[in-house]
């Protein structure tokens, strides 16, 4: 096996969406090692989209969102991100700040930590992973995010996480005009070699 093929990602983890805060130069490098990349700044509908909208767009198209955003608990956008993953699903990789502005370090970190985040998504399907060069990845499953968000809401009779999971997502902040509001699940692409189905056209 050649060194190049050893690093080539599996089909189900080739499809990435780079957030606008990812150096544009990382796109070509990532594609060179086998990733299929869409960069938010190259699309008018994604350039100024909120983080939760980006996650929804990526989830709809079976892509993993790559971002430098820290999503700190004190940041209001962090709650929207957590809710989006918890309720509708999605896969997010948060890169450490030391990779900012360094395309080679961005792609290198994705490759070096590949077995960690790919293994996590194999087991959990939906969730969030924080990766740092030389550090141990931190993971949060969809259920953990749901429980964390539910714990911040005043107690209410009944199974709150269960009711959330079964409810229809609200449409008040939907910006893409996607009429399918069902919770999405990723198909098991390992059992298919059909390739892309033109979702990004």
pLDDT, tens digit, 9 for 90 and up, residues 108-121:
999 989 989 999 99
Check residue 49 and give its pLDDT. 87
- Asked whether residue 17 is assigned to any structural domain, the reply reads yes
Check residue 25 and give its pLDDT. 94
Q: Which two tokens stand for residue 188?
A: 């098991």
For the full predicted model, state whether its pTM sits above 0.75. no
- Asked whether residue 130 is assigned to any structural domain, the reply reads yes
Residues of the domain holding 113: 12-167
Cβ-proximal residues to 116 (8 Å cutoff; 6+ apart), any chain: 129, 131, 137
Give how many domains the chain has, as a whole number: 1
Q: Which two tokens stand for residue 3?
A: 């060194």
Q: pLDDT tens across 137-153, in order? A: 899 999 998 887 777 65
- Asked whether residue 153 is assigned to any structural domain, the reply reads yes
- Asked whether residue 162 is assigned to any structural domain, the reply reads yes
- Asked whether residue 99 is assigned to any structural domain, the reply reads yes
**Which CATH number is 45's domain given?**
3.40.50
Q: pLDDT tens across 15-66, in order? A: 999 999 999 999 999 999 999 999 999 998 898 888 889 999 999 999 999 9
- Asked whether residue 90 is assigned to any structural domain, the reply reads yes
């Amino acid at each position: 096996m050649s060194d190049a093929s050893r690093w080539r990602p599996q089909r189900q983890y080739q499809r990435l969406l780079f957030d606008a805060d990812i150096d544009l130069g990382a796109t070509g490098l990532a594609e060179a090692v086998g990733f299929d990349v869409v960069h938010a700044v190259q699309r008018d509908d994604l350039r100024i989209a909120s983080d939760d909208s980006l996650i929804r767009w990526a989830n709809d198209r079976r892509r993993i969102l790559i971002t430098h955003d820290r999503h700190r608990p004190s940041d209001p956008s962090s709650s929207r991100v957590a809710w989006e993953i918890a309720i509708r699903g999605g896969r997010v990789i948060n890169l450490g700040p030391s990779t900012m502005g360094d395309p080679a370090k961005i792609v290198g970190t994705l490759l070096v930590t590949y077995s960690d985040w790919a293994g996590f998504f194999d087991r959990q399907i939906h969730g969030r992973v924080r990766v740092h060069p030389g550090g141990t990845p931190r993971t949060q499953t969809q259920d953990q995010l749901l429980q964390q968000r539910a714990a911040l809401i005043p107690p209410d009779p009944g199974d709150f996480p269960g009711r959330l999971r079964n409810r229809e997502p609200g449409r008040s902040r939907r910006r893409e005009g996607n009429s399918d509001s069902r919770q999405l699940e990723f198909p098991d692409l390992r059992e298919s070699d059909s390739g892309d189905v033109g979702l990004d056209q």
